[in-house]
Amino acid sequence: MKKTAKKMDWRTARSGNAGFACAAEAIPGSYGMVVMALAAITALFILMALTSSAYAVLDIKAEYLYDLEGLTEDSHFQSQGEIFSDPERNEIYVADTGNHCIRIFGKEGLELFQFGENGELGVPLDVAVTKSGDIYVLQGGFGGRNIDVFDYRGKRLSRLELKGLPEGDTCEPTDIALDSQDNLYISDQKHGCIVSFDSDGQYRFKIMPTMNDKDREEAVFGSLSVDKNNRVYLPVATLGTVYVFNNEGKHLMNFGIQGGGPGRLAFPVDVVVDKGGRYLVLDKQRHCIAVYDRDGNYLTEFGGMGPSKGWFYYPNSLEIDRYGRIYVSQMFGNKVQVLKLKEENR
């Protein structure tokens, strides 16, 4: 008996699945459905490959250099908090929360000095350094959160008094950062805002990032940071996005899309800017660092979940120094890894 071939629709003929479609029509029953399903899966993988290739023009990898090391073999970190890079003196500061001290490291990763371990500090949460070298420490304890000022020897100079807040307003610090004029920025997760003060502690302004009431109530703030151009960055981990403001409080942009795969931010907790103006965002739940261009377009990412060198396990803090070295802190394993970016144009 002579079989008559069915005419192929032009859409099928022009698609990459024409062969699959013909095969499916030639195979009766469920076998045809299986072949069609395989065709759909193949097309999906092709689409994913094309999509990912758009982000693979710049191949960025991170080379592991070393871990920050204490003064002795027994001086390990304990639940360390934030990291701060002082470009003026080329030093790295780590708020060692569990050991109740601030630890200072040189450019080769060796510890130079620490203070607070003899009871001068409560629970250090964050640290920043002024142009003159004074050290601001945000600390918690039974008396609430305060910002104390220390000199370079670790001698306590004063407790910073925050003055001039609008009537009825309070400020409960979550994180701190300084700009190039030593203006202070305080993130306040409880009230869903950023509050700025001058170097004397006088109120300047308040920033209320745009979000609905429910998002503000449930918001988890990441680490507050200010770049060399005095742009202020606030990652909101629960929204999977980063807010960017200027040093007068004007909203400039948001970047980042919430999600659990490449090109998405699951739980961003910190952001730094490299010499090329790219944003490096630490994603705690995806155990990686995502890279964006200066317009907030996703480029690539590096890292991943694991115990090996150059891999992360729920990292919590990120910093970059004047040489482009990246510092990544994580409480699991109580370590701070130092990495260097290596990139190739494809």
What is the identity of the amino acid at 345? N
- The per-residue pLDDT for 43 is 45
* Contact present, 138 and 173 (Cβ < 8 Å): yes
Q: With the CA atoms of 67, 69, 73 and 78 taken in that order, what torsion angle do they form, in degrees rounded to the nearest 10?
A: -80
- The per-residue pLDDT for 79 is 85
Structure tokens at 19: 């062969």
Environment class of 292 (CB within 10 Å of its CB; exposed 0-12, middle 13-18, buried 19+): buried
- The per-residue pLDDT for 141 is 83
* Contact present, 221 and 173 (Cβ < 8 Å): no
Closest by alpha carbon to 111, among 102, 121, 120, 119? 102
pLDDT tens string 31-59:
455 445 555 444 444 334 333 333 344 56
- The per-residue pLDDT for 184 is 99
The Cα–Cα gap between 40 and 35 comes to: 9
- The per-residue pLDDT for 80 is 83
Helices (H) and strands (E) in the chain, counts: 4, 24
Element (H, E) at 175: strand 175-178
DSSP letter string over 94-142?
Answer: EEETTTTEEEEE-TTSBEEEEESTTTT-SEEEEEEE-TT--EEEEEEST
Tens digit of pLDDT at every position of the chain (346 positions): 444 443 334 333 334 444 434 444 444 455 455 445 555 444 444 334 333 333 344 567 889 999 998 877 678 898 888 999 999 999 999 999 999 999 999 989 999 999 998 888 999 999 999 999 999 999 998 778 999 999 999 999 999 999 999 999 999 999 999 999 999 999 999 999 999 999 999 999 999 999 999 999 999 999 999 999 999 999 999 999 999 999 999 999 999 999 999 999 999 999 999 999 999 999 999 999 999 999 999 999 999 999 999 999 999 999 999 999 999 999 999 999 999 998 755 5
- The per-residue pLDDT for 33 is 52
pLDDT tens string 139-156:
998 778 999 999 999 999
Q: pTM of the prediction?
A: 0.82
pLDDT tens string 181-210:
999 999 999 999 999 999 999 999 999 999
- The per-residue pLDDT for 190 is 96
What is the identity of the amino acid at 229? N
What is the identity of the amino acid at 316? N
